[in-house]
Amino acid sequence: MTLSGKHVLLVIGGGIAAYKALDLIRRLRERGAAVRCVMTEAAQQFITPLSVGALSADHVFTDLFDRQAEHDVGHIRLSREADLIVVAPATADLMAKLANGLANDLASAVLLATNKPVLMAPAMNPRMWTHPATRRNRVTLEADGVRFAGPGKGEMAESGEAGDGRMVEPLEIVAAVETLLDAGAKPLAGKKVIVTSGPTHEPIDPVRYLANRSSGKQGHAIATALARLGADVRLVSGPVAIPDPAGVDTIHVERAQDMREAVEQFLPADAAVFVAAVADWRMADSAGEKIKKIAGKGPPLLQMVENPDILATVGHHEKRPRLVIGFAAETQNLVANAEAKLKKKGADIIVANDVSHDSGIGAGGVMGGERNRVRIVSHKGIEEWPEMSKDEVAARLASLIAERLGG
Ligand SMILES: Cc1cc2nc3c(=O)[nH]c(=O)nc-3n(C[C@H](O)[C@H](O)[C@H](O)COP(=O)(O)O)c2cc1C
């Protein structure tokens, strides 16, 4: 009963996905939450207040100018008595209204009047979702502190249409609610975990560097998932373009040497997860001044030396964490390379991901993309996980870490 004693106000917008709001009510109540619902006029074209009321076991609010309700609760109290407001499905229209401060019906008035966190689960046609107006509204809403769950990719109700805009499944919304209300189980409370993420930049001269395509998305997602399970997370991040995860102590470094130092400073720890794509080599001598192009002299010869192997260093460290996990990005012989790494580096688990172009993972590939398909290689054998979002990989890995640490 992770949500027991919590009050959720569910605003149901007018989209095809409104039927999923019924399951969402059930899932929230199963976890102990009291759910009160507001339906827009359009929502009532898709599902009835009768079924919403039956599932929520409460009066369903639909009108701004409802004498009975105004007297009884009113839109201000309705918005204040909840611990959290969830908008599911969040239509393009509701997003636009809140982004612009409109309040001409009960749903939008409640959203404007609230002093509580708001979580939106958008659901709309991919063209509506990618329209510049909706994109602007999302940026505005995020800047105003509204949180989003999804949308995901998939087939639309309209035949033949697919893309971004599908509402995430009710259980994913429930997980986001638990995170926002800080209500999930905390099997890693009191455990210290180090995570590395992103690429490293190895300077060639003051303006140039060697790097790789790592975005930090997978490592940051793992840090977030571990923090969600209550771990005290220290994230050592290379240069990335994504924000620091909430609730995680993040330190920013540039070179592999800095990353190793930062990691060692954080020891002892209960577990360490090395997700960063650390450069194998750096310049033997990085130039103090910008290397000039001199006519007739030809290109400079870049002399490189090996970088410290952070995984192996920690895997054989006197303060070795109980659980050491490394990521192996490979383009060939995935499992054989991962098994070799497991032994050589003193790791307990190698998460092997195929980053080759033909890994079958669409737009962006694994590096820089949103999805991942991994194999968990450990002394216990090989476990193959299906393709999933990086957030899902992170959540599953965090649960595995909790299990291994006996949480
Ligand atoms: C069959 C049908 C399906 C619709 N599905 C969606 C949808 O999934 N997402 C969306 O943003 N709007 C959808 N719309 C449009 C909204 O219903 C419309 O913009 C409405 O004014 C939204 O009102 P609300 O935001 O007050 O709920 C749909 C309309 C129809 C007729």
Q: What is the pLDDT of residues 297-322, one digit of tens each?
A: 999 999 999 999 999 999 999 999 99
- CB of 91 within 6 A of ligand 1: the answer is yes
Q: Are 29 and 35 in contact (CB under 8 A)?
A: yes
Using the predicted structure, report yes or no on whether residue 376 has a pLDDT greater than 90: yes
Q: Hey, which residues does 34 pair with through a beta bridge?
A: 7
**281 contacts: CB under 8 Å, gap ≥ 6:** 202, 210, 304, 305, 306, 307
Residue where a domain stops, chosen among 139, 160, 180: 180
Same domain, 152 and 229: no
Same domain, 244 and 346: yes
Q: Does 341 count as an annotated binding residue?
A: yes
Degrees, nearest 5: CA angle 94-97-98: 90
Same domain, 131 and 13: yes
Of the candidates 230, 243, 276, 233, the residue with the CA atom closest to the CA atom of residue 257: 276
Q: Are 167 and 20 in contact (CB under 8 A)?
A: yes
Helix (H) or strand (E) holding 322: none
- Residue minimizing CA distance to atom 28 of ligand 1: 15
What is the Å distance from ligand 1's center to 180 Cα?
Answer: 27
- CB of 13 within 6 A of ligand 1: the answer is yes
Q: Which amino acid is at 69?
A: A
- CB of 92 within 6 A of ligand 1: the answer is yes
Using the predicted structure, report yes or no on whether residue 330 has a pLDDT greater than 60: yes
What is the Å distance from ligand 1's center to 232 Cα?
Answer: 42
Same domain, 200 and 147: no
The string of DSSP letters for 38-55 reads: EE-TTHHHHS-HHHHHHH
Q: How big is the chain by its Cα radius of gyration, in Å?
A: 25
Least confident piece of the model among 76-90, 275-289, 344-358: 344-358
Q: Hey, which residues does 36 pair with through a beta bridge?
A: 9
Q: Tally the domains of the chain.
A: 2
Same domain, 305 and 204: yes
Residue 106 resides in a domain: yes
Phi, psi (5° rounding) for residue 246? -65, 140
CATH number, domain containing residue 270: 3.40.50.10300
Q: Model pTM?
A: 0.62
Same domain, 165 and 207: no
Residue where a domain stops, chosen among 140, 159, 180: 180
Same domain, 86 and 213: no
Of the candidates 169, 172, 133, the residue with the CA atom closest to the CA atom of residue 154: 169
Helix crossing, 18-30 with 49-56: angle to 10°? Answer: 10
Write out pLDDT tens, residues 147-197. 999 898 777 666 677 788 999 989 889 988 988 887 677 899 999 999 999
- Residue minimizing CA distance to atom 1 of ligand 1: 16
Of the candidates 230, 219, 284, 304, the residue with the CA atom closest to the CA atom of residue 253: 219
Q: Does 97 count as an annotated binding residue?
A: no
CB atoms within 10 A of CB 197: 29
- CB of 16 within 6 A of ligand 1: the answer is yes
Cα distances from 28 to residues 43, 120, 122, 175, 185, in angstroms, run 19, 15, 18, 10, 15
What is the Å distance from ligand 1's center to 125 Cα?
Answer: 10
Question: What is the per-residue pLDDT for 60?
Answer: 94
Question: What is the per-residue pLDDT for 373?
Answer: 87
Q: Where in the sequence numbering do the catalytic residues fall? A: 212
Residue where a domain stops, chosen among 116, 146, 180: 180
From its phi and psi, is residue 392 left (phi > 0), alpha (psi between -120 and 50) or beta? alpha
What is the Å distance from ligand 1's center to 273 Cα?
Answer: 43
Instruction: Give the pairing type, strands 349-354 and 388-389.
Output: unpaired
Q: Are 301 and 218 in contact (CB under 8 A)?
A: no
Q: Which residues of 69-101 are buried (b: 16+ CB within 10 A; e: fewer)?
A: bbeebbbeebbeebbbbbbbbbbbbbbbbbbee
Given the CA of residue 14, which atom of ligand 1 is nearest to it?
27
Question: Quick one: what percent of the chain has pLDDT higher than 70?
Answer: 93
- CB of 43 within 6 A of ligand 1: the answer is yes
Which range marks the domain in which residue 221 is found?
192-404
